[in-house]
Structure 1
């Protein structure tokens, strides 16, 4: 068997595989003998079917199967031995025909096309400058965080009059267009939260209402979307179309969150006994925690910015024609060239980034070894426990859980991607010049959402 290469251009080449009878005859004979031993043909005992009959019935198919294996193995070996960096897999040359006769087998010749992975010339140095955006941890943000914590550990109490943050317990009765009660309509007791009402006019109309007051409201105006509205009315979302949006709301109770006091009891609940002993220490701790929390988001914004710059400005010549055919031939379901063309720009952009990322890892000897992946996974699991205020298990149990998580292919891929991004971000931070820039929390959220 012989494989030769013909360069078409800088992006593609042709591999010609020549196969002689000596390459496949013994393999075909062995496969046919196996068929003979297993074949169940009326009139013949198992294993006694004449080889001529087996050859006639299965010969051509077996030859094609063995030939496919031989050619695939030869192509793979040639690519490996010659250290060719290719994209996808070799595909049959468009318009070429197999030279050889499967009815009268002799010499065969197959022609395949390969697409070369482009050379990456990455211009990323300590002269490359990027903004490193951070949230400004000011008194306002710390106050908001403290209020959230006090609310989380506070308690609900009944009050007489509605304010802008209360929860209203009420009975909702469906109305006709003229404002009269709809016979057989919805009558359901539920709750609505003033904090979630976005319509300022509606919100203002409810402030000051008292227990026992009856108010006509739009169900849509006091809920957040169809699922929330259906839950408030005690029906399924698909039933909303059969009902009015106008309801009489009779206020039965008004619940107000009474914030937890800033005292040692709250400090101990939040951070453990004796860890914090004053409001000053609390503010310092919250400020530090917020800084650490937003650090990961700042890293992600930096990586996103560098990614955009590298993808837009790094020359990467892809073998586009080859890749489009490869996508069409390798797709599990039939797909037209028109469909491929419609999505190709997005595919090419993703591939370009993969090649750039691969180049960075290879050029800088960045690796993901198993021990490191286990430690990273243990950290993720420990953080999950911490989110629920639960101490992490002992190291041996953490290691066992990490190994179990990595047995799941999808979960393992997700974890490897996270660790790869972490290493990539660190490479960027170590390599480029960072222009530290502090912005408000609201500005940060807006920037991150773009």
Structure 2
């Protein structure tokens, strides 16, 4: 078998695969002989069917299978041995017919197209300068965190009237377009939280209402939609399309969250027994936890800034036509070119960033090995056990669980990607010049949500 590369341009090439009869004949003859031994054709004893009949029945299929195997293995080996790298996998060139006769098999020539990976060489040094955004952990933010913590560990008590953050227990009754109770309509008692109502006008109308008062509401405005709305009304999610947008809500009870007191009992619940013994220590601990919590987000913002900058400056060209055809060919479900075009910009950007990452790892002798992946997976499992309040198992059992996770190709890829991202972020922080800038929480959230920041 012989493979010849014909360049189309810098990013595209054709591979012409020539398969001689001597490459496949022995395997084809053996396969047909095996068919003959098992064949049960009327008029012939088992294993005695003439080879001519066997070839007529199975010859083309056996030949096709063997040619496909030979060509696939040959292409894989050829690409692995080359200095250039390809994107995706070789694709049969649809507008060039296979040379060869399956009825009189001899020499076959197959033509494949490949997309060649562009050469990317990215160097990061201390001369690279990037803003490192940090959140200003001020009194306002600490007070907000303290309020959230005391509410989380507080208790519900009955209230006289509805406030901005209260829970409302009431009965929902479906109304018709005239605002009258719909005969045979939905009737269900449920709970809503004032905090999650985004309709400000409705929220304003409900504040101050007491038990026994009635208010007309759109059920979608007092819930989070989908399953939450269906659960609130006591129906199946599939029924939501048929319900009225007017419901009478009769308020049965108002529940107020009474915050927990800042005392030793709360300190122990939050930080462990005796770790914090005063309100001042709690505030210091909360501040330190906030700083640590936002550090991960700041690192993600930094990495995003750097990736945006590098992608723009690298000006990487891709074999777009080939990649689109390869995406369509590799999908399990039928996919149109229009569908591929719609999301190709995101795909191309992701691919460019991957090429840049590979260059950074190569230029700085960085890698993710199996031992690191194993230890990282074990640390993730330990955190998962802690999250559910479960004791960490012995190392042998933990290692076995990590091996099971890494045996799943999809999960293993996620682990390696996460670990690679951590290494990359660490490299950036240690290498580039950081211009630290503190902003208040609201501005920080806007920056974090802005993909171009």
Normalising by structure 1, report the TM-score: 0.89
Q: In structure 1, what is the equivalent of residue 101 of structure 2?
A: 101
CA distance in structure 2 between the aligned counterparts of 1:337 and 1:208, rounded to whole angstroms: 56
Aligned equivalents of 1:229 and 1:329: distance in 2? Answer: 40
- Offset from partner CA, 1:341-393 (integer Å, 9 cap, x none): 44433332222222222222222222221221121112222222333455544
Q: Do 1:154 and 1:258's aligned partners in 2 also have CA atoms closer than 8 Å? A: yes
Give yes or no for the alignment of 1:162 onto 2:165.
no
Cα 1:238–1:3 shift into 2, 3 Å: closer
Deviation at 1:319, TM superposition (A): 2.4
In structure 2, the residue matched to 1:363 is: 363
Q: 1:124 to 1:272 in 2, by over 3 A?
A: same
Q: Shift in Å at residue 156 of structure 1?
A: 1.3
Aligned to 1:216: 215
Greater CA drift, 144-153 or 118-127: 118-127
Question: In 1, are the aligned partners of 2:39 and 2:47 still within 8 Å (CA)?
Answer: yes
Partner of 2:301: 301
Distance 1:181 1:263, change over 3 A: same
Deviations 1:389-431 (A, max 9, x none): 5554444443333223223333222222211211222222222
1:378 aligns with 2:358: no
Which ranges in structure 1 are unaligned for 5 or more consecutive residues?
Answer: none
- SS, match of residue 47 in structure 2: coil
Are the structure 2 counterparts of residues 14 and 195 from structure 1 closer, same or farther at C-alpha, using a change threshold of 3 Å? closer
Q: Cα deviation per residue 1:293-319 (whole Å; 9 max; x = unaligned)? A: 111111111122222222222122222
Query: How many positions carry a matched residue from both structures?
Result: 449
SS of the aligned residue for 2:162 comes to coil
TM alignment of 1:33-432, pairs within 5 A: 33-175=33-175, 181-211=181-211, 213-220=212-219, 221-225=221-225, 227-239=227-239, 244-432=244-432
Query: What SS is found at the alignment partner of 2:407?
Result: coil
Shift of 1:260: 1.2
Separation (CA, whole Å) in 2 of partners of 1:209 and 1:329: 61
TM-score, normalising length: structure 2: 0.89
Unaligned runs of 5+ in 2: none
Rounded to whole Å, the distance in 1 between the matches of 2:74 and 2:241 is: 64
Distance across 2 between alignment mates of 1:245 and 1:56: 69
SS in 2 for 1:47: coil
Relative to structure 1, the CA distance from residue 94 to residue 284 in structure 2 (aligned partners, 3 Å threshold; closer, same or farther) is same
In structure 2, C-alpha distance between the alignment counterparts of 1:198 and 1:340, rounded to whole Å: 36
Question: Cα distance 1:436–1:388, how it changes in 2: closer, same or farther (>3 A)?
Answer: farther
Report if the CA contact (8 A) 1:216-1:246 is conserved: no
Give the SS at the match of 1:189: strand
User: Quick one: distance in 1 between partners of 2:53 and 2:233?
Assistant: 74
| 1:434 and 2:434 aligned | yes
- Bigger mean CA offset, 34-43 vs 232-241: 232-241
Alpha-carbon spacing, 1:398–1:286, altered in 2? closer, same or farther (3 Å): farther
Distance 1:396 1:281, change over 3 A: farther
Distance 1:279 1:183 in 2: 57
**8 Å Cα contact 1:161-1:208 kept in structure 2:** yes
| Residues 366/176 of structure 1: CA separation in 2 closer, same or farther (3 Å cut) | same
1:318-352: CA deviation from partner (whole Å, max 9, x where unpaired): 22333334344444455454554444333322222
